[in-house]
Every structure is written in structure tokens, then in C-alpha cells.
Structure 1
Amino acid sequence: MDIPEEEVSGAMSVPPLTKSELADLLGPDFTVESLKSERLTQAGDNYFSNMQAVEVKLLPHRRKLHLVAKLPPVSSFVIGISHFGDTLRKEKIMYLEVAKVFQDIQIESNVPVRELVDLFPKCYGAHVSYVDNMPVAEKSALILEDLRPLGYRCADRIKGLDLAHTYLVVSRLARLHATAIAVKIKKPLVFKNVILHACENFMTEGPPHDEKKKDKMEDKLFEQLASIEEIKPYLDCLKKSNALKPYFFPLPIEPFASIKHSDFCTNNILFKYTTDSYESLPTDVKFIDFQMTQYDSPVRDLIFLLYSSTDNGLVPDNYDHFIQLYHEHFIDALMKLGCDIKPFSYDVL
């Protein structure tokens, strides 16, 4: 999709988060004395939202709080194509509800404290505005903990993930997917009301797997593909084959169907380091930007990660091992959460 240059160049002014807006988002447990904010991302990055780093001083002891504010895009053009209100609704559910459900089921399953997995940054507040029962961008906002002071940052996305980074993120991704499945097995009502709620589709009107919806999205995609000269000779064959249709809101295949991030790449993974060097080994990881969550095959996240975000040559040499690693941690997580693992064999995966 072509986005006007001025919309992503950074030339437009970015309105800062106000003290009263932040106070409303944080709620009565926090009293804001002052705040200082700055643009968090470079021009051209994250143009579907307005990301701000916010340093807050709280009363009564002037304690500092480092936050990240996710606000609507500045551009009306981007607001029109980003579905910001709806994507923020999904993230609000993930950070405030799904994260709690994941912690609760681990604690209830007597997972040792040292083995508890927390894959989400802390959310301090979120608000989604509605007009005629539909989420809208205006006045919608999300406030997360800024993890940078704790040593978290994105890996080198130009170089890609090395073996140590890939091992860590694959093992934690498996636990994300397995925990959602454990909720499905042990708490079906919670799964329906929380996990599936976070996975609701928003791109067009209609039931989640409506054929008309798929056709509409497929038409939009082919409009874009038609503008690429190298692809034009293959368009007719691609249309006749219906090869792309399963990728639009695919029907989940049980028993492995789980919550899927749908944009699981280096940009949306934060690694914790003990030094400032990219060469140091990561000690922890957090996942962010749950704007496109779906209920689908979790392996799609794994494959997308491996082929979009790893160092050249890493996947061909280690592909089978990464799949086995994922499955081992997936099964280990299910066992820790007290689930029957027989339906989840490696062959079925």
C-alpha cells in the first residue's frame, strides 16, 4: 500500500500526552506531578501509531516512572487505514486480561516461582473510545512500562537473530501458545470470554470465516499485486488456484489451535541484556504489539519468525532442531500446567 511520504516522514507534529490524559489512564492509585515525553520511534517506523516515551514524576515522593504511550496516529489518512481503535482493543485485552489469565493458571498449577513465565510488559492503563458500539481511534490510548531502563531492547534486525536469541525466543513462544491451550482445556469459559475475545477479527464486517469477507480481502490484495510488474504474468494462475484464500482468516485446526500473534518478528520482541553489546547473551524476553492476534495454528508464528528474523543460513542448518525445540518446550509447558499431552504429539504438529 502506498502511504503519502509526508505521512511517514516525521514532518508532521506529534502531540504530546497531557498530564490530565495520563492521570486518567493511570487511575486513582497514581498522582502525577509532572511528565516529560518524547517520540519513541524513528520517522517511518510504527506509522500506524504514535509512540511516545514518557518520564513521569509521581507524588508524594517524586518517584519516577518510565512509560511508553501508544496513541492514535497523527495523520487522518493513517487513522483511516489502521483500524487503530480495534487493534488497541485487542492489545488492551492481551495486556490486562490475557496476561492475568496466564499468570493465574501457572500459579493454580503450582508452577514454581522461579519457573513462572511472564511474556508481557506491565500495562498501567488503557482506554478504547467507542462510537455507535464501534472502537474508534480518537482518545484511545495504551500505557505500558518502558522496558529499556530494565535492559530490554530489540535485537539487531538487520543482522537477524543468532542461535542463542533464536533458542530463547522459540522456547518462550512455545510457552505462550501452550499456556493458551492449557486455558482452553482447563478453563473453557475463560478461554471463550478472554482468549477468543482477544482473537476476534476486525478487518471487515461479517462472521469470522465468512467467504464474502475472504473474497473482499483477496480482491484488495490482488489490486496491490497487480501494481508489481514481476508478478503480473502469474496473477491469473494465482487467482484460479485459490492458493491465497486459506490465509484469510484460516479455520483453526485442533488440537494445536491457539492464540497467534500474527506479526511475530524482531520488531515485536524485546530481549533483556546484561550489557549494551548486541554480542552479549540475552537473559529474558518480552513480546509486544498484539494488534493482529488470531485463533489459528501457532506454527505460523514459528515459521514467520524463523524466515523473517533470523541470521542468514541459520534456518537451513537448524530447521528440524528448531521445530523439535519448540515442541519440547510446548509439551513441557502443558505438563507443568497439568494437561494431558497425548493429543499433542510431534507427528500431529
Structure 2
Amino acid sequence: MKSFSVRKTLDMLPVKNMDTLLMQTYGPDFQIHDVEWKHLTDPGENFGSIILAVNINAGHNDKKRTLNVVVKLPPRSAYLLELFDSPLTFKKELEFYSMVAPEFLKLQNESGIPRESISVIVPQFLGGRLGLHDPQHFDEQAAIVLENLKSYNYITQDRIIGLDQVHMNFAINHLAKLHAIAIGLKLKKPEFFKKTVLPCLEFNLHEATEKATVDMIQKAHNDYKNIKEAEAYLNKIEKTIEYGYTHDVTPEEPWATLVHHDFWVNNMMFKYDESGKPINMKIVDFQLTVYNYGVNDLIFFLVSSSQKEVLDNHLDDMIDFYYDSFIASLKSLNLDTNAFPKSQFMKQLNQCAPIKFNQCIMMVQVIQAARGSVSQTATEDGDECVFTGGIDDDNYKQKMLHVLSTFNRKGWLVE
């Protein structure tokens, strides 16, 4: 990965009052001496925020301390701020990391899960604010500070290639745990869930976001019209797209949970043992969370992130594995699993799948975008988001056809 050059002075750091942010974790004696920082992701790999890697030399209780952190900041351009509804999405993510994620750990501990088996699903939160002058009011200095997972040897996989079966199953297991733990919190601590968790899951499409989403779906639809191999399916494609606009599934309890809503390759990081086997994983980017059926995350993840042969040969196996992992996680929290029968799960899956078609086809433009096809200017200062993926790009075209064939094979297209 090409990284921006390292910059070494604290006064050049785009994050003001960084020490105050870290005092939230390390206390009032924390004092920064110097920093090194750089942009963590290439242009085009993350549109909704600016992500910095910051290495900090600090003093803490008269001792020297070195910290490797990631700081998430809002995008710079007014267009992107509006497109991603940053005031809302930053607030949602900040509240998730600061108030909800710690309760996930606490619930597992209280349920008697051994310490070595507790799932630490997200990076450690170290500090955050909505604004510099008023921590509760959004401004351009909104910030979320997390541990830098790369310094602990976590890495992302290749979004264009997708995940092999080992990585898919590893991620499915973690996704199932995320959904089960949120349900456990709802059932065991209903007042906390209602007061603290549900507000983090409220999400209404901003007008600019809705327009951009519709534009991307329309582009995908037009691309299908220009792909010869899709010609026989155009009627089903049109009906399924329209169905996604006009239908919604109201989740039945007790199944509704925290849905990540953007669970694909770029939003997870894996850690490996010496043999290259994944031994841990963290999920990132919780700004789009909603309250719905967990199968919404599962469907999008399977279709967006599996390598072709894995999806072709193991789709039903992965669906079964998710359900089994979900039930096992509920049991580990001492919950009654009779309320979560497999028949209802499969019904939800087939209800939600046609509605997820739109997200699956529009996101191919992002996931299969050629590396380097989006400039730094476009992501930081531009007034529109342009994805160059099109049917002339074979990766894009083949993925669009594969999404189509997968939905058709499973009977998820609307007749």
C-alpha cells in the first residue's frame, strides 16, 4: 500500500487537542511530547472519513509511554459531509464505541465466558468527541481515537479478490457473535438496550445520501442493460430493483439485532499465527448501524466478499454455519435458543434477500473499483463521488454477472 509521507510535528497534526482526547482513557496526567503521523488508507479506499495513523511519544504518571493509534476524522468537502450525513454517522459511531462496545465485553464476562474465550469484536476505544468547542456538537474536529490494529499485526484482505473459505467462515463466526451478543444485551439488560443501544441504531437516509444511492443503483441497472450475458434477466432485474425500493421487512422479536449494514472485506481486519492461519479478527466502521434482522448483514457479506468459487460451492454451507454459530453464541450467554428456530431464520433470509439486491449491485462499483482510480482530490476536496467501475473493467463486469447468477440460483430475484 502506498502511504502518504510521515509528518513529525504535533502542530501539523490535523487533530487539535489530541492530548485531551487521550486523557479520556489515560487520565489528566497524560501529556504528548511528540508525534509521527500519516494517512492510513489510500485515496479511494475510504470515502466517509479521513483516517490517520498517529504514533505518539508521551509522558504518563512520570513514565514514558508510546502509543500507536488511529484517528478517524470527518471528510473535508461539504459534499462528502452531506453525502455521509457526518453529524449523524459520527455521533452513532462514537456512542457505539464509547457506550455499547464495553457492554458487549461486560455481558460476556457476566455470563461466565472464560476470559480467553471472550470475543473482543472491535478495536479498543481511546477517546472521542463530536466537536472541539462543544464535545456534544458536531464540527470539523469531530474525532474517534482507536488502537491501531496494524501495530498488532492485523491486516485487511484484498477487496477485489475477496475472501477464501477459511476467511469467510472466520468472519461469519464473528458476525454471528456480534448479532447474538446484541440480542443478549437486549434480553438481559432491556432498559440499557432501550436507552443507550437503540438510539445508536436509528438511521434515516439523508436526502443527499438517498440521491447518491439511487444514482449508483441506476448506474448498476444501466450496466446490466449493456451486458449481453444479462439480457435474459433484465425483466427480473428491473422487478427486483423496484421491489427493493418499495418493500421493507419489519423484524419480529426477539430476532432484531444490531446490523452493521456495511459488513464487507474493507471493514474487517485479521490477525494470523505463524502458519498463516487466522486467529483473531476485528470489525470496524459502525456508523451505519440499524436495528433489523442479522441476515441482512449475512446476505450482503456472502455476496460482496466471497471469492467466486467459494460462493458457488459453499453458499448453503456458509448460511448453515452462520446459524449454528449464532445459536452457539446465544447458548454461551445462557439464553434460551428455542425462540430462534432454524425455520424462522430461513424465512427471514428469503424475505430479506430480494431487498438486499440493490445494495449488492451498487456496492460492486466500490468494491471492484480499480486501485488508484479515485484521486485524493476527489475523496477529500471534490464535490461529487465518481466510481470508474464499468463494464469495460472485466473484474467489475464479472462480479456483476456473478451477483446476478447467485441471486437467480437461490430464487432471490423477483419474478
What TM-score does the superposition give when structure 1 sets the normalisation length? 0.83
C-alpha displacement of 1:47: 2.4
Residue 35 of structure 1 pairs with residue 67 of structure 2: no
CA distance in 2, matches of 1:285, 1:84: 26
Over 3 Å counting, the alpha-carbon distance change for 1:129 and 1:301 in structure 2 is same
* Unaligned ranges ≥5, structure 1: 1-9, 205-212
Identical aligned pairs, as a percentage?
Answer: 32
Residue 344 of structure 1 pairs with residue 340 of structure 2: yes
Over 3 Å counting, the alpha-carbon distance change for 1:311 and 1:22 in structure 2 is same
Match of 2:281 in 1: 285
| Partner SS for 1:136 | coil
Match of 1:302 in 2: 298
CA distance in 1, matches of 2:65, 2:135: 38
> Is the Cα contact below 8 Å between 1:153 and 1:271 reproduced in 2?
yes
CA distance in 1, matches of 2:101, 2:322: 21
> Is the Cα contact below 8 Å between 2:34 and 2:57 reproduced in 1?
yes
Match of 1:333 in 2: 329
C-alpha displacement of 1:114: 1.8
CA distance in 2, matches of 1:35, 1:241: 49
Residue 48 of structure 1 pairs with residue 48 of structure 2: yes
More strand by share: 1
Over 3 Å counting, the alpha-carbon distance change for 1:319 and 1:126 in structure 2 is same
Match of 1:261 in 2: 260
Match of 2:405 in 1: none
Match of 2:191 in 1: 189
Over 3 Å counting, the alpha-carbon distance change for 1:222 and 1:148 in structure 2 is closer
The aligned amino acid for 1:104 is K
C-alpha displacement of 1:137: 4.0
> Is the Cα contact below 8 Å between 1:53 and 1:146 reproduced in 2?
yes
Over 3 Å counting, the alpha-carbon distance change for 1:29 and 1:272 in structure 2 is farther
Over 3 Å counting, the alpha-carbon distance change for 1:217 and 1:245 in structure 2 is farther
Over 3 Å counting, the alpha-carbon distance change for 1:130 and 1:341 in structure 2 is farther
Q: How does 1:183-222 map to 2 (within 5 A)?
A: 183-204=185-206, 221-222=213-214
Match of 1:149 in 2: 151
> Is the Cα contact below 8 Å between 1:89 and 1:135 reproduced in 2?
no
CA distance in 2, matches of 1:218, 1:71: 22
Match of 2:58 in 1: 58
Residue 67 of structure 1 pairs with residue 63 of structure 2: no
Match of 1:161 in 2: 163
CA distance in 2, matches of 1:129, 1:88: 10
C-alpha displacement of 1:202: 4.2
C-alpha displacement of 1:194: 2.1
> Is the Cα contact below 8 Å between 2:129 and 2:136 reproduced in 1?
no
> Is the Cα contact below 8 Å between 2:41 and 2:51 reproduced in 1?
yes
| Partner SS for 2:66 | strand
